[in-house]
Amino acid sequence: MDPAVPSAPVASAIIIFLDEAEFLSEAIDSVLAQSHTDWELLLVDDGSTDGSTEIAESYARQHPDRIRCLAHPDRENRGMSASRNLGLREATGRYVTYLDGDDVWLATKLEEQIAILEELDEVDAVYGPLTRWRTWADPEAEESVFGFGRDGQHPYVGSGVEAPKLVSLFLEDVYFIPGGLLMRRKAAARDGGFEEEFTGMYEDAVFLVKLLLRSSVFVSSHSTYLYRMHPESCTHVAGLKGEESAAERRYLHWIEEYLAGSGVNAPEVRRSLRRASFRVRYPAIEALRRPRRTLRRARARAQSLARWAASAPERSASALRKS
């Protein structure tokens, strides 16, 4: 078991945020509502200008023994990876976990995951599926669990997985998403933490590849993380702008270079990387291989674009109110 700083909390929760005034309070409240109470919360401001800073500072004043606010020098905007690393450097808990400023934890998140890591000394991290969360805005929308592959079946659920088996799953099926991780702090900080050249898309994926190449992970069947689906999210906006494919190519190229210099002997990962690169380089061939999936994704993208366009007046009004 990892040594902890005397009187340090068991877990460090890190929320990074950039202009998340609309949702930040809900994210923080979900940490305050945890059934496991031995934690600290680090709120990392990545240069917000919309009132998020004031919200974070208000919570820190109310809970000075548990919540701290952090920011880059001169309150610069340095991107998601640099902000996560700032929180990681300041964390004192035996375990560390992240929550995005627009998402929410269920109340048993820390209790369930800490119990697993306390029991399994050989495991470095634990995660479960994510819940796509839309009902906060649309009572008619259905929540759906994802992260366990296209068919929703994870081959290793309920067990610990040795490195680097999860990397191959992660590369070959974009629906395998190890989300809501709780990690031993030494594992999270291993090999430099997050890659700061990735300021937005794929910053978490790059970190996951580094972690999963060297760490054993327990795969839980229980979702305790609500992933908010909304039109202002980083992933959604990048998809609408057509930036997703270029970002994925850059991410896969980074993995190729990283593997070459890492010293990790993982031929199965290299094979999975070649298949992933082929899929991204030749999307038309991939579309022919999976026609139904391609059609579903095209329809979903069209529906998202329509909702985005329909919400333009509301977004403009919201921007005026914030200004």
Residue ranges of domains in the chain = 11-229
Given the DSSP bridges, would you call strands 95-98 and 11-17 parallel, antiparallel or unpaired? parallel
Phi-psi region of 288 (alpha: psi -120 to 50; beta: other; left: phi over 0): alpha
Given the DSSP bridges, would you call strands 104-105 and 217-219 parallel, antiparallel or unpaired? unpaired
Residues 115 and 220 sit within 8 Å (Cβ to Cβ): no
Lowest mean pLDDT among 34-43, 65-74, 193-202, 241-250: 241-250
Sign of the C-alpha dihedral, residues 30, 32, 37, 40? positive
Query: Distance between CA atoms of 250 and 269, rounded to whole angstroms?
Result: 17
Q: Which of 217, 124, 131, 125 is nearest to 166 (CA)?
A: 217
Percentage of the chain beyond pLDDT 70 is: 79
CATH 3.90.550.10 for domain 11-229:
yes
**DSSP secondary structure string for all residues of 253-309:** HHHHHHHHHH----HHHHHHHHHHHHHHH-HHHHHHHSHHHHHHHHHHHHHHHHHHH
Give the H/E segment covering residue 95: strand 95-98
Residue with tokens 């594992």: 187
Phi first, then psi: give them for residue 200, nearest 5 degrees. Answer: -140, -110
Q: How far is CA 188 from the centre of its chain?
A: 13
Given the DSSP bridges, would you call strands 217-219 and 125-128 parallel, antiparallel or unpaired? parallel
Phi-psi region of 268 (alpha: psi -120 to 50; beta: other; left: phi over 0): alpha
pLDDT at 238 over 60: no
SS3 16: strand
Residues 39 and 10 sit within 8 Å (Cβ to Cβ): yes
Query: Distance between CA atoms of 281 and 118, rounded to whole angstroms?
Result: 43
Cβ count within 10 A of residue 18: 19
Cβ count within 10 A of residue 24: 24
pLDDT score of 240: 40
pLDDT score of 147: 85
pLDDT tens column, 38-95? 999 999 999 999 999 999 999 999 999 999 999 999 999 999 999 999 999 999 999 9
Query: Distance between CA atoms of 212 and 216, rounded to whole angstroms?
Result: 7
pLDDT tens column, 258-309? 999 988 888 999 999 999 998 888 876 656 655 555 555 556 555 555 554 5
Cβ count within 10 A of residue 33: 13
Mean pLDDT computed over 33-40: 98
- What's the mean pLDDT when you consider all of the chain? 85
Tokens representing residue 210 in the block: 């580094």
